[in-house]
Structure 1
Amino acid sequence: MFYADRSSANAGAKAALQRHATRVLRRVAQDLRLPAHAHEIVTDTRRGSSAVRVSLRTETLFVDVLERRGGSGVALCFRTRRGRSDLTGGGENHVALAQLESPAGYRAMLDGLRLAGGIDLKCGGRR
């Protein structure tokens, strides 16, 4: 029986997920027309946390791509926040990944993010 540490076994897969999640959130920020100074993309690098979480943060919104517990897939969720000092935000609202597979579903998600975050359609700033 082996007692080796398996934490690095999925390091490559987690790094690939992190890169892909960052690209997806950059696209979301671009499609929301968020200016560079109005958002940041952050990777959760807490020690001991084996799950991947990459967040798009604006003044009023968190959008997260996260690995589900037990490595059983990926989830996309969003929650509102009250300014940059609010590091937790409200309750998570999960987006069905099947919705993101169609252009209409992706646009509907963007519309929901604009509504939840009070984001102006024309310039990406706050209304």
Structure 2
Amino acid sequence: MGDYFDSLRSATPARLEIGRAGSRYKTKAYLDFRAAHAAANDAVMSEVSKETLDDLGVFEVKTKCHDKYEMLTRPDYGRLFDEETKDFLLKNATYGDDVQIYCGDGLSAPSIKANVPNMLPILHLGLEEEGISVGKPFFV
């Protein structure tokens, strides 16, 4: 049985066979869970900084969500631009491009900061090499 769980553990970040002390998790497993939960909460509640957006060379647009809480509780609002953004895009967007790249905050500002600076130029270059026109990237 140990080999089976060892192979499962190597294939997933899930907590498997962490053990119990009576009806509770063992202290180490519980503390590890609490630390991971705190890190996930910090990632969800963090914001992408203006400096990060400037470094990426993207402009920011807003949805109908006014804050993170509303984004989490009303995902339908997160799929709709606010009126100011609609007007801005109508006046400033390029038309006729084959691809429009946007970065969505989603639920992890740290992942944007860690991944998008490397990914965006490569994606842009690859599309252009294939003759695919790309609009100015933006951040939602």
Q: Which has the larger radius of gyration?
A: 2
Name the TM-score, length of structure 2 as normaliser.
0.29
Higher strand share: 1
Which structure carries more relative contact order (alpha carbon 8 Å, separation 6+)? 2
Higher helix share: 2
Name the TM-score, length of structure 1 as normaliser.
0.31
